Amino acid sequence: MKKKVAVYPGSFDPVTFGHLDIIKRASTIFDHLIVSVFVHSAKKHMFSVEERVAMLKTALKGKKNVSVDCFEGLLVDYVKKKKTKVVIRGLRAISDLDYEFQIAAANRTLYPDIETVFFMPRQRYTYLSSSVVRDIAHFSGDVSKLVPPHVVKAIAARRKKDAK
């Protein structure tokens, strides 16, 4: 029987409990889930690709059917390279819907076999995004209820480094 493989792409800058919620639930549906950090060199990130990959690997340690990777370029090319047709995306609010539908439609135009599976986060994470975490951290707010402890430490270290 062929394994069901899905790709969950994102910036994960930084990884949040909302991301981890989707990863946990998607990993129970698919035989293998590839969590892949999208490399977007024109975008200003808090953490490098390598740091984001490392944070994800730490957060997902022990998850046997989940791997962490990164990619640059078109998602459809990456998905084909990984020999799958399934992309996982999160929908927090109705405001995400229009953008995500546009991306899903564009991806299907480029790769007709691709399927996008949308996950709604648990209610307590509907407001949560990496940009919210970055904004709170920028003003020295407490992000400990939003991200794993190792990410809290990484954010504090980054803020300290940036303050110099």
Of 11, 19, 85, 129, the active-site residue reads 19
In the annotation, is 92 catalytic? yes
CA distance to 29, 141, 153, per residue, from 161 (Å): 40, 17, 12
In the annotation, is 83 catalytic? no
Of 32, 80, 92, 134, the active-site residue reads 92
Of 43, 61, 145, 161, the active-site residue reads 43
In the annotation, is 130 catalytic? yes
In the annotation, is 44 catalytic? no
Pick from 145, 129, 8: which is nearest to 63 by CA? 8
First-to-last alpha carbon distance for the chain, in angstroms, is: 55
Cβ burial of 32 (10 Å; 0-12, 13-18, 19+) is middle
Which residues are annotated as catalytic? 19, 43, 92, 130
